[in-house]
Amino acid sequence: MKSFIVSPILSRKSTAKYVAWVNQDKYKNHLLSTLTDPQLSYFIIIFYQNKSLAEHILFKKLFNILNEYVNIETYSKTDLNKLQMLTNYVSIQEAVLIYQNSINITKYNVRKLLQFIKDKDKFINKEMNIVWGPGNHANVEENINEHYKKHVLSNWEAQYWKSLNCESYRDYAIESFYKIKNVMVHSNGKNVYLSGFYGNVFIIGRYEDDVFGISSCYYVESGVKCGRERDFCFEIVFNN
């Protein structure tokens, strides 16, 4: 590959000379010509710092991240490919927000993760309205009834629930939600959940459209749910 010295100030007219860096390859020349002036200026900065990364950006058509608010120098090629994937589902600003705040991102959970990230402060400040959701059942009522039977009335869990009725169980979960500790957002790659422990009681919820609802509430003798660490996305700390 030929070396070519380029002036830091590069006009649109001098683009053809600039692509001597790529041995006059017409395809690369075309890719460069599609950049806006601000994108081209930013691209030159990246080119001086990391020519391999600059060429990767061209070939992968990552033009939409060539903006000043994205510090590309801090991203690897893998990072950039992931960001590009996210922009198929959300805006570049939202993609960067998700990538900076979370891990375990897939095309199936990206919008749900974004909802949790945007509402993070509402949870931290205890401003999010907490209700029961339908979970994996047909409706809210059925979800509460089924979890009440599965947990409060079970042979091994009943001793911890002090004979709560179904209504008390429902209210207990709601009233205890903002008392939970070790709060984290986690995802199985599709659904995204927020969960934590109030003592040994595990409370977990998720969004159903725009409403956050409790999915389940049950006693865990060990006080640990290992699957959450495996599916970890980010942590939340409620204000006292």
Owning domain of residue 46: 12-101
Tell which of 71, 101, 131 closes a domain: 101
Which pLDDT belongs to residue 25?
59
Task: For residue 40, tell me if it sits in a domain.
Answer: yes
Top-confidence residue, 61 or 1: 61
* Contact in structure between 185 and 194 (CB atoms under 8 Å): yes
Does residue 48 sit in the same domain as residue 127? no
Task: For residue 5, tell me if it sits in a domain.
Answer: no
Task: For residue 48, tell me if it sits in a domain.
Answer: yes
State yes or no: pLDDT of 9 exceeds 50: no
Does residue 231 sit in the same domain as residue 125? yes
Rounded alpha-carbon distances, angstroms, from residue 200 to 156, 172, 185, 208, 238: 14, 14, 18, 26, 18
Does residue 224 sit in the same domain as residue 147? yes
State yes or no: pLDDT of 196 exceeds 60: yes
Using pLDDT thresholds of 50, 70 and 90, give the confidence band for residue 24.
Answer: low
- Total of domains in the chain: 2
Q: Could you tell me the pTM of the whole model?
A: 0.78
Does residue 195 sit in the same domain as residue 92? no
Q: What angle do CA 37, 42, 46 make, to 5 degrees?
A: 145
138-187 pLDDT tens trace: 999 999 999 999 999 998 899 999 889 999 999 999 999 999 999 999 99
Rounded alpha-carbon distances, angstroms, from residue 44 to 30, 77, 94, 182, 239: 16, 17, 25, 45, 45
Dihedral in degrees, nearest 10, Cα atoms 103, 106, 110, 116: -40
Task: Give alpha helix (H) positions in the chain.
Answer: 15-18, 26-33, 37-49, 51-59, 77-86, 92-101, 110-118, 120-124, 140-147, 158-161, 166-176, 226-230
Provide the pairing of β-strand 131-132 with 211-219. parallel
Task: For residue 30, tell me if it sits in a domain.
Answer: yes
65-99 pLDDT tens trace: 777 657 777 788 888 888 888 888 988 889 888 98
